[in-house]
Amino acid sequence: MEGKNQTSITELILLGFTDLSKLQTLLFVAFLAMYVLTLLGNIGIVTLIRIDPQLHTPMYLFISNLSFVDICYSSTVTPRALANFIVEKKSMSLIGCAIQFFSLGLLASAESFLLSVMAYDRYTAICNPLLYTSVMTQKVCIQLIGTAYIISLTYSLVETGNIFSMSFCGCNEINHFYCDPLPLLKLSCSDTFLNEIIMQTFASIVITLNTVAIFLSYFYIISAILKIRSATGRQKAFSTCASHFITVVLFFGTLVFMYAFPSSHSSLNKNRFISIVYTMVIPMVNPMIYSLRNNDVKQALKKLVDKKWNS
């Protein structure tokens, strides 16, 4: 025990992409560009929804929360990753790693639950249009969003406690650009079998619950749309779900690929590059998806630009 205590880790070295020395400048520029676009796009969406009364509907309330989560999600990872390209010492305290790990778990889970809530919103709007305003009241919307955050907070607390209850000693280098669970498990000098089971179980529960909720919502949505006789009506109904569906496929596709399989069957190098997709790329493209494919958002943006131009 004395020997183990002497070699206990108090800080971690995030290697990031040091093995790709020839691509350091290119990666820095790419990460910076994605982060700037993420902030501009998501802050723009939140601001536009807030100032335009026509966008004060349940759907856009959920979209603004999704944009807020994307801002926080990207900001938890990207600034640190950018700094590691510049600073010589790429260390992070174990406490700092735990805070980052907790924040990422909370935000990733919140995004998945928000996508489920948005699927339910689209189900109600298309399958029960006459009852939509009485069902999706402001109080109900706030309760749904609050529940998503509370469940996510509980999930992240459990996962963080599970991972950081392990002992870390010996080598303190992580072949990643943030504190991801898979390299942390590799770093532990404890028996990680139970920790891996707990991590996989809770992650699978969150992914499965949200996937089932979204699948059932879209099953009834598609069934209702196919019953619409007018081709124009069907097209309009499909267009209201297209943006959400694309976001769901991108987000859950990467999560399932990362965490649905045991870590022993995953390559850390492969996971490192896939992580770029859901920590940087998805938060960047979400506002583009919701603005470029959404007529209400485009009209609100056009109206704002015309107002500024005329003034």
CATH of residue 47's domain is 1.20.1070.10
- Spatial distance between the Cα atoms of 201 and 182, rounded to a whole number of angstroms: 14
- Of 269, 234, 247, 225, the C-alpha closest to 16 is 269
For residue 150, what pLDDT is reported? 98
Please indicate, yes or no, if residue 2 is contained in any of the structural domains: no
- pLDDT tens per residue across span 40-55: 999 999 999 999 998 9
Please indicate, yes or no, if residue 310 is contained in any of the structural domains: no
Sheet with strand 11-14: strands edge to edge: 91-93, 11-14, 173-174
With tokens 């599970």, the residue in question is 162
Q: Which amino acid is at 192?
A: T
Question: Is residue 265 predicted with pLDDT exceeding 50?
Answer: no
What average pLDDT does the chain have?
A: 88
For residue 292, what pLDDT is reported? 73
For residue 263, what pLDDT is reported? 47
Please indicate, yes or no, if residue 281 is contained in any of the structural domains: yes
- Of 206, 198, 205, 200, the C-alpha closest to 166 is 198
Number of domains in the chain: 1
For residue 296, what pLDDT is reported? 81
Please indicate, yes or no, if residue 192 is contained in any of the structural domains: yes
Q: Which of 122-131, 214-223, 229-238 has the lowest mean pLDDT?
A: 229-238
Domain extent at residue 252: 9-305
Please indicate, yes or no, if residue 4 is contained in any of the structural domains: no
Please indicate, yes or no, if residue 262 is contained in any of the structural domains: yes
Is the sign of the CA dihedral 263, 187, 159, 108 positive or negative?
negative
Contacts of 102 (CB under 8 A, 6+ apart): 156, 157, 160
For residue 220, what pLDDT is reported? 95
For residue 154, what pLDDT is reported? 97
- pLDDT tens per residue across span 141-188: 999 999 999 999 999 999 999 999 998 887 888 888 999 888 888 888
- Spatial distance between the Cα atoms of 245 and 64, rounded to a whole number of angstroms: 17
Please indicate, yes or no, if residue 125 is contained in any of the structural domains: yes
pLDDT band of residue 108 (cuts 50, 70, 90) is: very high
pLDDT band of residue 271 (cuts 50, 70, 90) is: confident
